Amino acid sequence: MTQPVLTGAGETLPTPEGFQGIVADYSSDQSAFKKVPWGKAMMWIFLVSDTFIFGAFLISYMTVRMSTTEPWPNPSEVFALTLWGNHIPLLLIAIMTFILISSSGTMAMAVNFGYRRDRVRTFVLLLITAALGASFVGMQAFEWTKLITEEGVRPWGNPMGAAQFGSTFFMITGFHGTHVTIGVIFLIIVATKVLRGDLDRQRPGFLTGRKGNYEIVEIMGLYWHFVDLVWVFIFAFFYLW
Q: How far apart are CA 8 and CA 58, in angstroms?
A: 49
Q: How far apart are CA 181 and CA 136, in angstroms?
A: 9
Q: Where are the domains of the chain?
A: 1-35, 37-240
Instruction: List pLDDT tens digits, range 70-129.
Output: 888 888 878 877 777 677 788 889 999 999 999 999 999 999 998 888 889 999 999 999
Residue 14: φ, ψ to 5°: -70, 145
Radius of gyration of the chain (CA): 23
| Predicted pLDDT of residue 150 | 82
In the chain (241 residues long), the average pLDDT of successive 10-residue segments reads 46 61 58 65 91 94 88 81 76 92 95 90 96 96 88 81 86 95 95 83 59 79 95 90 80
| Predicted pLDDT of residue 174 | 94
Candidate CATH numbers 1.20.120.80, 3.30.1300.10, 3.40.50.300, 1.20.1090.10; the one for domain 37-240: 1.20.120.80
- Beta-bridge partners for 13: 5
Q: How far apart are CA 63 and CA 163, in angstroms?
A: 14
| Predicted pLDDT of residue 14 | 60
